[in-house]
Structures are given as structure tokens and as C-alpha cells.
Structure 1
Amino acid sequence: MNPILTERILAIAQAAEKAGHGGKDAVYQTGCQALGISRATLLRKIKQVSYKPPRRQRVDCGTSALTREEALQISGVMMASHRKNGKRLYSLEQAVNDLRANNLIHAGTSGWIYAEYRFGGETTQNFTDVLINAMQERGGADVLHGVPRILYTDPGCALVSSTLRNLCQTLGIQLIAHKAGNARATGSVEKARDILECHFESGLRFVQVDNIDELNRLVGLWRKKYNRTAIHRRTGMTRTDCWLRITPGQLIKAPPVDVCRELAVSLPENRKVSTHLRVSFRGSEYDVRQVPGICVGDTVQIVRNPWRDSKAQVVMMNENGLEVFCRMPEVAKDDYGFDLNSPTPGESFRALPHTTAQHHLAEVGQTLYGNHHTGETAAAQKARALPLGGRFNPYLDNERDTPPIYLPRQGQVSTVCAPRFEERLNPVVVVQQLRARFQAAGKTWRSEFYTTLTQRFPDGIPADLVDALGDELMAQTGDVVVNLASHG
């Protein structure tokens, strides 16, 4: 978004905030009609440019009752329970329980006052332009220039807008806004405003000023003389003499005006770290191996480096919750797209350096299997050795558990009948059994019995009906075979 569109969207956001509950919809509709965009697009752009206070940090941040050894054991137990398909069997809670059974710039040190007049009041575009102009090297007695390390402002919308924050983020400026209603926090700026009113603006009534360019020419002459001649009570020297004590390491030259304006309207872009520890940005690849704590698959915020086109910057958070910047070089490639610094096949080989996460992973494995080398950990895993030397019993809590005795509950008898499985026999097998039974009973087996059985049971004879069928067929024959041997 350009600065003009950003300013209009900020104005819509402020009007909606003042409208309160129930009145925002009308403001949004008017804004959509004026800008020719949909409501969803308007709300998305408001979210991009509006200031959101950072999430409050927990009061117990940085304190923990968990030792590093315990953390390694917990991590090892959770990792050892992972399946090859990536499914995690142990939750963190389970593992823990089981293991434990105003367009006026004021330099803070020297007090050097930079003043510039703008039409339109304290807008984002005006303040950004003044800041960019103040950082430029102007020469002569107008000595104040360079990129500040900290920009301390009041919480006005123009001073904490997305445009200004993007500029500060890219240039490495720490932007700090004091609490609303605490104007005394920027009292030195208010004093600089008082000096400007008393020593410069008081004389404007005696001269004819036709345009703002003439006004800025006059204030430029005044600030060069005042900072060079007026003695500051705190330092006992002039503001210019005090500023000239800056060292080369402290003075960071600002990029040109056009580059600063480009940085002021560009947002940091999210990029995902590849398996080669690189990110793609503006058509080039950048090496992030030197970024502290970086891991494969991480999503990082990348901004342009205004001093070197061959480098970009990663936006990170330090231990104090403040943004810091880490420069990363561009990967130089030959005409065929190969990395110039990569090893040549057949001549050398080189692996990527281990990330912090990989070092921690190796330490967890060594703690889990009680060794001191990554190779020993891999061998123990291949041999399916018990983690923690078998000292960890995941079911110990269950074995020690004494459940209460619950009274039986009354209920209804189920009306569902159990399924019945019938075993059917081949008629030939049944005939053999029945024929033996007939002979034992002294009766004659007739061939038509076989025909009768196959006709009645074409799918086989149920096993539980064999005895009943034998009795039925035996009743149909009355002859008895006489055993002649018994009458010899």
C-alpha cells in the first residue's frame, strides 16, 4: 500500500474505533464506497496497518521448576514412543506423570534539535518523511544524521503506524512507545518544542513568510546556529560539540531517501526454511545457517537489507521480547545454477552444520540410552535397547492404583438371541455312521435311506440331527439280522 492509502485506512480505523459498538458498520460501509473495495478487503488492510499492542508476557516467564535432566528424560520418553508413521503415543502430561510417578526530532544524548515544518499535521507520511530527512547527511553545520539505535515516541497513531514500524524494523531501529497518558516520558521533546516556540517561532510575526519552503529554510538556519552556539546545561557544551563526539562505530549512515521510502512502505515477508537451510527472497536464495536457533521448516520474517543488495535480514525476538536483526548472505551461483561455495563431487564432501534442535536431539538420545556419542545412540536404537536402561516402568502407576469398589447396577435383560452356527455333514459320512449303527443293532440298512437323506437335506445334514435321523430310519425297518455264531 502507498502512504496515501495507508493514511486513509488509518483514518477509517480511527473513526470506527470512535463510533463504538453498533456504529462501526456504517463507517466501514462509507469507507468501502470511498475506496472502492469490499468490506473483507478493508478489514484486512486495517489489520495490516493498525497497531496492536504486543501480547503481555507471563509474570512467571523465565522461571521453571523443571531441571534440564528431567526435561531430557521427558523428551526422550516421548520420542521413544513415536511410531515410524509419526504418530505420538505419549502425551506430555502422561510422560510427566509417569516419570514422576510532532515533526520534531530530538537526539537523546547530545540534545541536538532537528525541526521541519509540514502541512497536514501529525500524519504517518509527514512523520516518516521528517525522520528520513533527519537521518540524511546534509553537510555543513547541520551535523545531525545517521540511523538511531532507539526511537522513543508517544503512542500516537502516526508514530506507531505500520509504515513507520516497517521502516524501523528494516533499518534495525528499536521503536519504543511510552504508555498513553504518560507525556512526561518524552519531556525532553516537549522542552525542545518549547525552545523552538520561544527562540524561533516568536520571530515569525516580524517577517513575511509566503510558503512552507521559506519557513523550512528559516528553521534550517536557526537550528544550525542554535545547536552550534547554545550551551546545554546538562553537558556544559553546545549540542553540536556534543554530537561531534560520536564514534565511527556508533554512527550508522542512512540509505538514500528513495531507498528509505521504499523500505517504509514494504512489509516483512514470511519465508520457510528449506532442508538446505536456505530461504527464497526477491528471486534469490539466502543462507540462514548463521541465524541463531534456526531449524529446518521454520517460518521466518525476511526484510531487505538497505545497505547491501546481496544480503537480507531475518527479524527475530531476543530474550527481552525485542526485535533484533540477523543479516544473511545471498547464495552465489554459477551460470548453471550451482552454489559456488558447494563441494565439488569427486573432490570433497561437506555436510550441513547441525542446528540447535539437532544438538538437543542428540543430547536427548544420549540421555535416553546412557551413552556419550550419537553413533552409540543409533546402535542402541537399532538393537531395540530399552530406553533409560529399563528403569522406567510406564505401567507402575497402574500397578499401584487401588480402584474403589463400585456397587453393581440394576439393568434390563438383553433380548438379543445369540447367533446359532449349524455344522452340516456330508451325506456319505452320515450314511457310514448310520450303517455302523444299524449293524450294531442287528438291522438291515437299505439303499433308499441314502436317497431320502439327500432329498431332505440337499445342503448337507445338520450334525445335531444325525442321532434323531438314525432313530427314525431304524424304526422304518423291523428285521433283525440273526447272529448264527451265537447258535453254534
Structure 2
Amino acid sequence: METAFESGLRFTEVSDIDQLNELAERWMRYYNATQIHSRHGLTRYQAWNKIKAEQLILPPPAEYCRELAISTPKEAKVSPDLEIRFGGRYYSVKDIRGVLVGQKLLVAKNPWETDGARVATYDADGNEIWQAVPQIEFDEMGFRADAAVIGAEYKGRIDTVAQQHAKELDKLAMGADTLEEAAAKRKGKAVPFNGEIDPYKHQEDTLAARNTLYLPKQGTQMEYNRMEVAEQVLSKVEMAKLLKPRIEAAGGDWKQAVRMLQTAYPQGIEASRLDEAFDKLMNAGRLKIHRTGSL
């Protein structure tokens, strides 16, 4: 530019900036069309014509660029589906390293993509890095365009960092190499950490360090409504119904037993003493026992 164009201006009278721009543009076309580049051996126009459509990235429309100039980044909260809402659209942040559900991310428009968005992330040194996030497309019925088709495929959500750590801790606790092995051990009631951790060790250490004996305190008996439960009393008729089968099964004289019961228990007897009454009849010798063979 300095040697091939500006040096010629000494021999030309330039009246205004428009004339200068016209001369500069004509020189640019001439230079790019005729001068061979030392790196590839072609003119710059010849090399430019070899570019492919996918390699030529066009800038956004002028209106969008003006919006970028006056727009400011905003915070967006990460949903349980690892999505954010920004500018009335939804974007997936599942590929953002270390993203957490409920986390607030700083989001801005993407200057290289209309309706695109970028999220502020940070590297190990704390440097701010803007990462592009894809927009989530929806069909005319409001379903996600990339959603799994029921009965045809399955798409699981990517685990967050917290979920990944939880799975690693699960394998560590169960002494397993895989999640399946950890689940099998847990189903088999295996003790975590192979029983090497005593969950009550801190209690034992605290009590031993304090070495304190607590004496029982004297208290006052609380008043309460105590229900008196009366035991069932069997009448002579009820006693007869219960004792007759037992006496006859033992080979006794039921008529003699009835007379004794009427004399000994005119008011009946408590249900818990029924066996006592039976034994009394036998011990008194008034109950005739017929032994026919061994008992």
C-alpha cells in the first residue's frame, strides 16, 4: 500500500475523500488480480475463489449487529432439564462443564449466530470463557424436535456433576467397580465400606473423654386414670359346662362332682381358678377315677 499506491499520490491531485477511496479501491482490485502470493503461488482473487460455502461464514444482519452493540448479558436459572430461557427462547446447557440444577448462568447473545446465545464459563485459572449453547427447537405441536419417539427410541438425560459424583461415591462405599455391582451388593444387604466405619465411634470417644457419670434424678409420679379390670367370674352353670367334659374324659363320676361343686363354690369361681377347682375334686378323693390302661 505504501510503496505501490501511496507513492503515486504525489503525481495526482486528490480533491476529496471520495476520490481517494475510489483510487484505493481500483488499486486493491488491480493488486489482488495480478500480484502472485509467495505462499500458494496464486493471485489473491484466485485463492479466494477456492473457498467453499461452508467455509465462508457470513456476518449477522446489520440490525442484529446493532442489537449486540446495545445488549447486555443477563442471568438465567438452570432448570431440572438442564435448560435455560433467554430472550424468549430455550437453550440447552447440558454440555457446560460443571453446570448444576438451579445455578444462575450469565447469558449473552451470540454475535456469530442469529438468535444464538453464549454462556460465561471459567477455566482453571478463573479466566472468563464464553461458550455457545444450542437453541432448543420445537415442532408445531410444542414438542421438542430432538425428543425421543415413544416406542421407538430412548434418550436419557446427561448426568450433572453432582449426579456423577454421587454415583462415584456409591461405588466407593460398596467397594464396586460398576454401578450394577454396587446395586447388587446393596440388594444383598452388604455393609458399606465393608463394615470398617463405626458410625457411633464419635459417641464413644466423647463419653470417654468426658468421663462423667450421671445419677438418676428423683421425680414426681404423674397422676393418671387407672382402669380397674375385673376378672370374669364363672357361675355354677358355666363351671359345669366347662368341667363336665374334662371329668368324664378322665373317667370320673359327674353326679358326685356336681354335688361337690355346689357345696364348695356356691357363688361360682374366677375363670383363672377353673383348673384349681378341677384339681381339688381329684385331690379330695371324691372323684372316682377309672383307670383302664396306661395314661
TM-score with structure 1 length normalisation?
0.33
Q: What is the alpha-carbon distance in structure 2 between the residues aligned to residue 331 and residue 323 of structure 1?
A: 25
C-alpha displacement of 1:279: 0.6
Distance 1:268 1:222, change over 3 A: farther
Distance 2:112 2:59 in 1: 8
Maintained 8 Å contact 2:108/2:117: yes
Paired residue for 1:215? Answer: 20
RMSD: 4.4
Q: What is the aligned partner in structure 2 of residue 230 from structure 1?
A: 35
The SS at the match of 2:75 is: strand
Match of 1:360 in 2: 165
Question: Paired residues, what number?
Answer: 201
1:329 counterpart residue number? 135
Structure 2, gaps ≥5 residues long = 206-218, 220-295
Alignment of 1:160-309 (within 5 A): 196-291=1-96, 293-305=98-110, 309=114
Structure 1 residue 366: deviation in Å? Answer: 1.0
CA distance in 2, matches of 1:356, 1:213: 59
Q: For the structure 1 residues 246 and 259, does the alpha-carbon distance in structure 2 shift closer, same or farther, using more than 3 Å as the test?
A: same
Describe the SS at the equivalent of 2:158. Answer: coil
Identity of aligned residues (%): 34
- AA matched with 1:360: H
Counterparts of 1:417-432 in structure 2 under 5 Å? none
Residue pairs, 1:28-427, within 5 angstroms: 196-291=1-96, 293-305=98-110, 309=114, 311-316=116-121, 323=129, 325-332=131-138, 352-371=157-176, 372-373=178-179, 376=182, 380=186, 387-392=192-197
1:233-287 deviation digits (Å, cap 9, x = unpaired): 4444333333444344432222233333432443333322111211110122223
What SS does structure 2 have at the residue aligned with 1:197?
Answer: coil
Contact 1:286 1:329 in 2 (8 A): yes
SS in structure 2 of the partner of residue 237 of structure 1 = coil
Greater CA radius of gyration, 1 or 2?
2
Structure 1 unaligned segments of length 5 or more: list them: 1-195, 400-422, 424-488
Q: Deviations over 1:13-33 (max 9, x none)?
A: xxxxxxxxxxxxxxxxxxxxx
Q: More relative contact order in 1 or in 2 (CA 8 Å, sep 6+)?
A: 1
8 A Cα contact 1:368 1:388, kept in partner: yes
Change (3 A) 1:338 1:200: same
Counterparts of 1:283 and 1:197, CA distance in 2: 51
Instruction: Give the number of the structure whose residues are more often helix, by fraction.
Output: 1
User: Shift of the alpha carbon at 1:357?
Assistant: 3.7
Worse overlay, 280-289 or 231-240: 231-240
Distance 1:248 1:349, change over 3 A: closer
Q: 8 Å contact 2:116–2:132 — kept in the other structure?
A: no
Query: Cα offset for 1:220?
Result: 1.7
Tell me if the contact between 1:231 and 1:237 (Cα under 8 Å) persists in the aligned partners: yes
**Contact 2:174/2:185 (8 A) holds in 1:** no
TM-score for the superposition, normalised by structure 2: 0.51
Shift of 1:324: 5.7
Instruction: Name the CA shift for 1:341/1:232 in 2 (closer, same or farther; >3 Å).
Output: closer
